[in-house]
Amino acid sequence: GAVVSQHPSWVICKSGTSVKIECRSLDFQATTMFWYRQFPKQSLMLMATSNEGSKATYEQGVEKDKFLINHASLTLSTLTVTSAHPEDSSFYICSALRGSTDTQYFGPGTRLTVL
């Protein structure tokens, strides 16, 4: 159990366009999900905490108007990268909390390349 999926697994887009990434908990409900960004050979950096039915909480330095997060159901959170630029190219990974446990289950990640 505790399977998290992401879609798409990779995407290539032109500079200035927007890209939406979906994160789904397949076999459990998740009131809280997290979005991370990981640059090559670096660690995971938390971007924001996504809470079902309320506004996301963004980490310091993360532009909320550029990285739009929506958590409209207990199994789905979306991250939209608006007006993407080459510096936004990265590996975006989501995670989900199951119940009231501390354990985060991670999605497989989405590789975004902005040309």
Applying CB under 8 A, which residues contact another protein? 32, 34, 42-46, 49, 57, 91, 93, 97, 102-109, 111
| Choice between 32 and 82, CB closer to another protein | 32
Minimal distance, residue 16 CB to another protein, in Å? 27
Contacts of 94 (CB under 8 A, 6+ apart): 4, 6, 21, 23, 33, 34, 35, 36, 77, 79, 106, 107
| Choice between 15 and 103, CB closer to another protein | 103
CA distances from 110 to 5, 60, 69, 78, 113 (A): 10, 22, 15, 12, 10
Minimal distance, residue 90 CB to another protein, in Å? 13
| Choice between 61 and 86, CB closer to another protein | 61
Minimal distance, residue 91 CB to another protein, in Å? 8
| Choice between 28 and 91, CB closer to another protein | 91
Contacts of 41 (CB under 8 A, 6+ apart): none
Minimal distance, residue 78 CB to another protein, in Å? 18
